[in-house]
Amino acid sequence: MAGCFSASRFFLNTMRPSKNRVYCLASRKLKLSFETKQKADNFLKFNAPEILSEKGKAPVRSYYCQLCCAWHVTSNSSEKSASSLDSRDEKLLDYFIHESGTAKTEMKRLASQIRERMRAIDVAMEMNDLSLARNLLRLSMNDLNLMKHMNPHSFLILRPQRQLSRRLKEIDMIEGK
């Protein structure tokens, strides 16, 4: 399999899958991940109805992800968008092969996204819009969790973690919690 290159093994190993979730660099989110198409299809068969009733949309097909070297499931039924996703993955794959330290690149992207949100949080707090500030904080915490999944020991996590929890305390204090 052309896509199963050593770097992606590296990602799988460093990204600490919890259960069978991995941080997928192609879709940039945590994805269920299966070793074989059959396992992914079995998952669809037995879990889709329940997921549908819980979330209002269910995964409908499985596909092979070249970056994870594994099978994911998706609720997107369109084969056309599937093939455009494939070509996107090819491009990403190329990029990752030729770019060293890609996990680090992605970590930096997330870190800078958190930094931007942090500025927005500060503005929201200045305007005393605490619910907006809390929402932005929650989004940033999600990004931080993704970073922890990718590399729990990275120094890139420390600063945003400190800054986010400081703001969380501030908001709690203002709200008297």
Instruction: Tell me which residues touch Zn ion (CB under 5 A).
Output: 24, 26, 65, 67-68
Report, in Å, the least distance between residue 128 CB and Zn ion: 41
Report, in Å, the least distance between residue 64 CB and Zn ion: 9
Residue with smaller CB distance to Zn ion, 84 or 165: 84
Where does residue 16 fall: left (phi above 0), alpha (psi -120 to 50 degrees), or beta otherwise? left
Report, in Å, the least distance between residue 35 CB and Zn ion: 13
Residue with smaller CB distance to Zn ion, 72 or 167: 72
Residue with smaller CB distance to Zn ion, 29 or 162: 29
Report, in Å, the least distance between residue 72 CB and Zn ion: 6
Residue with smaller CB distance to Zn ion, 24 or 137: 24
In a 13 Å sphere around the CA of 5, the CA atoms on its Cβ side amount to 13
